[in-house]
Amino acid sequence: MTPENEIELLRDQIRYYDRKYYVEASPEISDLDYDRLMGQLKNLEREFPELVTSDSPSMRIGDEIVGDLVPVAHRVPMLSIENTYNLEELAGFLNRVQKNIVEPVQWVMELKIDGVAAAIVYERGRLVRAVTRGNGQIGDDITHTIRTVGDVPLKLANHPPELLEVRGEVYMTNSDLAKLNLQRDQMGQPPFANPRNVTAGSIRMQDPREAARRRMRFFCHGVGYCEGMRSENHMDFLAELKSFGLPVTPHVVRFESANEVLSQIDQIQAELHSLDFEVDGLVLKVNSFRQREILGSTTKSPRWVVAYKIEKYEAVTRLNEIRVQVGKTGAITPVAELEPVQLAGTTVSRASLHNAEEIERKDIRVGDWVVVEKAGKIIPHVVRVELHRRPDESLPFVFPIECPECQTRLVKDEGGVYIRCPSQTCPAKLRQRLRFFASRSAMDIDGLGEKIVDQLVDAGLVNSYGDLYKLTEDQLLKLDSFGKRKAEKLLAGIAVSKSRGLGRVLAAISIRHVGTRVALLLAQRFHSIEHLQSASIDELASVDEIGEIIADSVFGFLHSEFGESTIAELQEAGVSLVEALHLAAKDVGGDDAKVFEGKTFVVTGTLLKYKRDEIEELIAKHGGRAASSVSKNTDFLVAGEKAGSKLAKAQELGVQVISEDDFENLIIGPSGLQAAEILE
């Protein structure tokens, strides 16, 4: 083999392993073996310097320090993105876009990575230039530092376009920041505060060797000037970039409608804790490039993209202890007991550690100083450990192998991250299930709070949901703190809960993967527990928004010994297991059920026919959104008695105000108000 062929073979091997590591997140060789390959390449290039090329993997880190950064004009301006901080404004943006497009609009949701925007230009597949965003028209040339970023290929694979400008975010992971700060502490240098600040400074450094030590990374999420891209939509575009060996933005989700976006955004936000990089929001983009052209841009931002920003607050405090809790499904959740610290105007003394894998991945230990974050409505969580402040005597946390309450051996979800207590008689699981069963979003049992649940379980009076409906006044009066009035109130609350209906019961009995929304969909589709029990997995999975995982869980519960006994006990107690909310007796998946598609409602005042959560369930059932405050994007205000300030705000903004009767008429047909005219 000639030296030229041997060198090119080594380069191709290293590029392949780079791609497996950075782009596909599935490394195939160890760091030691990778370093040996790179050493062989460098030795050959030193022996044959005439064969060295600018796109060789060995040329990532230049030896020369550059002078002042050179300004470069963007061939296509890097426009900013319109921001919103609440769901009402987001819904308004999505609805405005749909009104300007005749056919349905597909949306793509991406993570808004908290880094530094940059554009990278490839000519004939070779990296030739990288530029900061700057003012959107002119940025600074940072080619020398971008070449040090391991994610960024110096040469593209698979016949890329003749000219390709990709845009994305330069960032640093939390774990790399922790390691960097440890190194700086050992050298007597002050630590960096957060990943974004490090990245912003590092990307503009004049010495590429120093920039390389910062271990920056890059995600592509857009395109600038290009000649020869073949994609017609954003999802295909990302796949095309990935085929060239470029690292594309991760965890991208496509939605078929604005309503689907809004129904899942909170769940997606709640899962951001598992990421090792900072995210300060979610970006919604129109998937179709043709539709983007129709929508166009303003002078400041495109009309086809919006950022839903998440307000984040951080603080540093000491982790004093790690405790584990048993949840209603048996999941063992570790919780950090913190030195109290002020965060977003509240005192935080506890933070979720989520699961055993997260503790191991972040290497969280008792006695550590940790960065705690609160973002939006999400409970506080630990972002990273300040390794440079770790006590010398610290030891890794050992996750328990037995349930702390009933000593049953714990099991890990197959293919999942959660460790659970499998015992159906675990007292801790029973307490959590009963607390949830009685909660407002479930059976809404007045008088059944956390302390009373504990009393009932500890006294052996309640060992299942059905036992609640067997309680007597005499039994309650024997318990501490129970008088006749308190006992009567609790029994009355339990009796009233019998009429909540199938949807509320399904949400209340802690079936895995079944929350309020899924429970309502199932109840509206099958109407009674008998029909639901007789449904096959395929029939369950065919329900809109359900899918195989939820269907397996529901079917497994209903046909398990525990599930069958639970249903039988509730039936025997007289609990209603048919769907209560059936104004029009329409399936959620049917065309008529989407009568509120794209409409936002606010409910205010004292209602006579419904509880607040019941009318909000009806709004969701028929395709609409229930918001908490009136804005210019509100379509209807459902006003009861003593409506107050929200009514005044609606009148000021010209929002349509309707009564409970008017609301029902929109669903079951016109009577006084013409539904078609109102919903126009």
Distance CA 644, CA 304 (A): 37
Assess whether 99 carries a catalytic annotation: no
- The full DSSP string for 192-231 is PS-HHHHHHHHTT-S-HHHHHTT--EEEEEEEEEEE----
Phi and psi at residue 214, to the nearest 5°: -85, -10
Tokens of 321: 């202890």
As given in the structure block, the two tokens for residue 500 are 């909540």
The angle subtended at Cα 421 by Cα 419 and Cα 424, nearest 5°, is: 145
Do 101 and 156 form a contact (C-beta atoms < 8 A)? Answer: no
Geometric angle at alpha carbon 310, from 389 and 518, rounded to 5°: 110
Residue of 403, 469, 410 lying closest to 432 (CA atoms)? 403
| Local structure of residue 273 (DSSP, 8 states) | G
Please say whether the beta carbons of 591 and 630 come within 8 A.
no
Check if the beta carbon of residue 403 is closer than 8 Å to that of residue 195.
Answer: no
Return the bridge partners of 342, or none.
347
Look up residue 146 and give its amino acid.
I
Beta bridge partners of 537: none
Query: Could you tell me the CA-to-CA distances from 410 to 62, 511, 512 in Å, in that order?
Result: 53, 19, 17
How many other CB atoms are there within 10 angstroms of residue 347's CB atom?
9
Spatial contact of 417 and 357, defined as CB atoms under 8 Å apart: yes
What would you measure as the largest C-alpha separation in the chain, in angstroms? 96
C-alpha span between 580 and 584 (Å, rounded): 11
**CA–CA separation, 193 vs 204, rounded Å?**
18
The strand pair at 138-140 and 163-171 is best described as unpaired
User: Using H for helix, E for strand and C for coil, what is the string for 641-657?
Assistant: ECCCHHHHHHHHHCCEE
And the tokens for 577?
A: 């297991």
Residue among 42, 99, 112, 242 flagged as catalytic: 112
> Secondary structure of 282-303 in the HEC alphabet?
EEEEECEHHHHHHHCECCCCEC
Distance CA(201)–CA(195), nearest Å, equals: 10
Token pair recorded at residue 502 = 């199938």
State the catalytic residues.
112
